[in-house]
Amino acid sequence: MSILSAAGLSKAFGAKDIFSGISLEIPHGAKIALVGPNGAGKTTLIRILVGQDEPSSGTINRMRGLRIGYLPQRPELLSAQTLWEEMLSAFEALRRREAALLQMAQQISERPDDAELLERYGAAQHAFERDGGYTYETRIKQVLQGLGFEADTYHKPLSLLSGGQRTRALLAKLLLQQPELLVLDEPTNHLDVQAIEWLEGYLSAWRGALLLVSHDRYFMDRVVNTIWELDCGRLESYSGNYSAYLAQRQARWDYHLKLFESERERLLADLDFIKRNIARESTNARAIGKLRLLSRELAAIEQLGLIAYKNARSWSETGVGGVRLYTVAEAEAAIKALKPSSVRPRQVRMRLNLQSGARSGDKVLMTHNLVVGYAAQAPLLRVPDLTLYRGEVAAIIGPNGVGKSTLLKTLLGALPPLAGERKLGAQVKIGYFAQAHESLSEERTLLDEILSVRELPISQARDHLANFLFTGDDVFRTVSTLSGGERGRLALAKLALSGANLLLLDEPTNHLDIPAQEVLQDILAQFEGTILLVSHDRYLINALATQIWSARPGQLDVFVGTYSAYLAEREATKAATAAANATARQARRSEAPHRANKADGLSTREREKRVAQIEADIHQLETDLARLEAELALASANGDVERVRTLGEAYAQAQSALDAHLREWETLLA
């Protein structure tokens, strides 16, 4: 069942069309990723779908009462409340029911014989428990911890949190509210890999519908089952995750290209017939009729595109109005103007040529007893002795704040080690891509930045910048005017001229759209030198890395192999640990009854003694449960919420112990 649908959506800003003729629907439970190059209109489209912007034309139908949760890229969550209070506000309705229960408990203490009141209280309490009334604070903690919040931030005012923390706070609140349609614009921004992995698991189990915009290809592979591609003003839908989309898109493009070639040949054949017959009196009428049909086709193709025209089931479905008769010359020009790009959208893409300089020695980078950080009394990482060989790609991963970038700067030589040493091999030349782009001078023009790397003719420097989508007067802009994505492209443009054979890359795909990420990934895969990179881009890491350097507080662990192999080993280790813990717990649980009943090892007297002990324990537990039940009723009557929760946990533990004793008692008497 569709919870949201749209037909004929168009959006223009002034004379510029962003997209047009978009129709879509979101079924219940769908998990959709919206992809496309920067500037294609992805954020504009989702703002229209959630009702925060209006289309220039078209209609949107939302299911009556549809609850939508929307996370924009730059949310404004400004509140005097603390983080914890903001999370509690996600459960306002549940907390009102909690207050009503306490009020009913007070009424029961005044009218204990009111059977109708007791029945209503029991039903309300059961529904409250069913809907998570006794667990919502636990859920809050789980979500906050999953998104990387430390406990010491729970009671800080939101106004004191960073912009990234406030974005994560809004995401946490939306997850707790559980809307029927969750719309997330770049949800993995401001999250480290651990938090992203947690979010993947949470959204994979999400029961509502999900629509997200993301540049995180690995995240989309793990979470979504549909891809919408917005490109050149058109929206196309693909089933499956991101990797499936890539394969389907290529197959679709190949089919469209074959269709284009066959249709172009057919149109040229029609034109040839017209040329040969239009001058003859006996065939002129047929040629004019053929030209009239050809004029209609060319007008429709020009207006709709070849594929949309071919997909139309009838002329009326094309929506093309009256068409004038083309001249033969006009028809010929229109056919020759058809390009394959009319069936395969081609945004202007970054072009990157990255060649390593002189060949380095086999051993490129070595460390010995290396310790990195800024203060000897508080080192960030202790590094095992490492040797990085020519042609290898090592990826440094780990949570934010453990020292990944600090390690990279130490290996670069920009920071002194706290202890130990790092050595470069023979003929090694380093090229460095900084996350914050510190190598860029704010006052320089783009042209000056390129010329600072290598002396080039101005025309050649401009051509090089054009490969990174800086054209015309863009080359005279100063660095201070650039966006994050533009700074990244400029830093890559400088790196391409460096002639380095060892690349140290700190978050190279940050701020790059997916087409640019794909270009960078392809070029790095062809690079003949050595690469050491820090990245949250797991798709890039999975495609390139031959070693994984996993940073955790105080320590760096090295895994030789691909990222997929690293994950498989990590999961196997987790599973083995969990199995060992489960076995130990089971052994502890079964120890007493096993001793009491092992192969008739107990004498009759010993067995009777054990039965008597268990029966005494059962009696005590039943007494405890009765006492706890009375205390719970009193705490409810007094409105003491914290006391109710504490007693509720104690009651559950006592009940569990009673169940275990009863099972053992039954075993002994069997």
User: What's residue 644's pLDDT?
Assistant: 65
Q: Which of 659, 509, 489, 666 is nearest to 589 (CA)?
A: 659
As a whole number of angstroms, the distance between CA 401 and CA 337 comes to 55
| Residues linked to residue 68 through DSSP beta bridges, in sequence order | 181
Q: What is the 3-state secondary structure of 220-252?
A: HHHHCCEEEEEECCEEEEEECCHHHHHHHHHHH
Residue 524 CA from chain centroid, whole number: 23
Q: Which of 352, 389, 407, 386 is nearest to 501 (CA)?
A: 389
User: What's residue 474's pLDDT?
Assistant: 87
Residue-wise over 376-407: b if at least 16 C-beta within 10 A, else e?
A: eeebbbbbeebebbbebbbbbbbeeebbbbbb
User: What's residue 532's pLDDT?
Assistant: 96
The pair of three-digit structure tokens given for residue 320, joined into one six-digit string: 């093309």
As a whole number of angstroms, the distance between CA 354 and CA 43 comes to 32
Number of helices and strands (H, E) in the chain?
A: 22, 19
Mean pLDDT by 10 residues, the chain (670 residues): 93 87 94 90 94 94 95 78 94 91 85 86 88 88 93 90 87 95 92 90 94 94 95 90 93 87 91 90 89 88 75 70 85 85 53 75 94 89 94 92 90 93 93 81 91 90 88 89 82 86 90 84 89 93 95 93 93 86 70 49 71 83 75 62 71 83 78
User: What's residue 345's pLDDT?
Assistant: 47
